[in-house]
Amino acid sequence: MTVEDSRNGAAAVARTERNWAVIAVTIIIVMTLLAVVAGLHRATMPQSEVQAVDPARLHLSGEFIEANLGSERGVDGAVTVRVIGQQYSFTPACILVPTDTPITLRATSADVVHGLLVQGTNINTMLVPGYISEQPMRFTKAGDYLMPCQEFCGFGHEGMWGTVRVIDKAAFAERAKGGGRLSCVGE
Ligand SMILES: [Cu+2]
């Protein structure tokens, strides 16, 4: 190997290192920008507004009393769903919602940390005692979606799951006519 050869080799190594450094820095910059954009859109960041609730008094008064659980259709047609997670079930265990409608899920835990995940969608939140988890939902396809607890919450964890039943918008409106809270428990 001549001196000339080793100079060329060193130059090639330096060039390759520089190229990889540029790629690595570009990836870091892109990821940082993604995190900023996603955070601004509330897509991946935790809520900035913390809503607290007393887990020991959920059943006694306020938003999460039994009569207020389930799906409520607002005057504008938007739907609010209120759910409680407890060892080892969700209340209501079958959530009824319409297609093509903005839905706000409001959920909390009565005891330990649970999770709420709707299979086949990006709906996924933790239920932390003392706090209200709020998440927007929207379904385009009618059908039953499995809703398991995705946070280990004790010996009965694997048996903790519910269902989200998405029905046609018009059928939901018909059922919501009388007011009150809707669910599909026992259907
Ligand atoms: Cu659980």
Q: Report the distance separating Cα 65 and Cα 4, nearest Å.
A: 83
65 Cα to the center of ligand 1, angstroms: 20
46 Cα to the center of ligand 1, angstroms: 20
63 Cα to the center of ligand 1, angstroms: 21
9 Cα to the center of ligand 1, angstroms: 60
Parts of the chain with a pLDDT under 70: 1, 42-48
Confirm or reject CATH 3.30.365.10 for domain 55-176, answering yes or no. Answer: no
| pLDDT score of 186 | 87
Question: Of 161, 184, 76, nearest to 114 (Cα)?
Answer: 161
Task: Give the tokens for residue 103.
Answer: 């839905």
55 Cα to the center of ligand 1, angstroms: 15
| pLDDT score of 44 | 59
pTM, entire model: 0.75
Report every protein residue that has its C-beta within 5 angstroms of ion ligand 1: 114, 149, 153, 160
161 Cα to the center of ligand 1, angstroms: 8
152 Cα to the center of ligand 1, angstroms: 6
150 Cα to the center of ligand 1, angstroms: 7
* Strand 94-98, strand 161-167: pairing: parallel
Q: What is the pLDDT of residues 86-102, one digit of tens each?
A: 999 999 999 999 999 99
| pLDDT score of 5 | 81
